[in-house]
């Protein structure tokens, strides 16, 4: 099984700042990576797929990058509505589909 290691576990940033969340796979996943946002009390929502493609309707301040085993999600100009937990998911090799442990983003 491919293990996904996500960091940091929590993050506090100011409005307008840029934040970066990292995800490392236990082997090369060839850009088979998605990012999800889960707001408090809500279900997850797809943000990014194929490591760097923005899902329909997702604001352009979100972006994904990376290759091989290392991937990142960047949020530019942090907004209050970005308070959420963020999860990565690999889908290069499955089953099983595997998720990172999540990053909880708060506003300072």
Rule CB under 8 A: which residues touch another protein? 32, 34, 36, 42-46, 49, 55, 87, 89, 91, 94-102
CB of 38 to another protein, least distance (A): 8
Of residues 43 and 80, the one with the C-beta less far from another protein: 43
Instruction: Tell the smallest beta-carbon distance from residue 7 to another protein (Å).
Output: 13
Question: Which among 10, 99, 20 is positioned nearest to 66, based on CA atoms?
Answer: 20
- Which residues are 63's β-sheet partners? 74
> Is the distance from CB of 58 to CB of 76 less than 8 angstroms?
no
């Amino acid at each position: 099984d491919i293990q996904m290691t996500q960091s940091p576990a929590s993050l506090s940033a100011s409005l307008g700042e840029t934040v970066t969340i990292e995800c490392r796979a236990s082997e090369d996943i060839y850009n088979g990576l998605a990012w999800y946002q889960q707001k408090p009390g809500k279900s997850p929502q797809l943000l990014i797929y194929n490591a760097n493609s923005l899902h329909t309707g997702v604001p352009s301040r979100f972006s994904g990058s990376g290759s091989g085993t290392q991937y990142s999600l960047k949020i530019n100009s942090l907004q209050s509505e970005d308070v959420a937990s963020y999860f990565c998911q690999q889908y290069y090799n499955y089953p099983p589909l595997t998720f990172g442990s999540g990053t909880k983003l708060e506003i300072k």
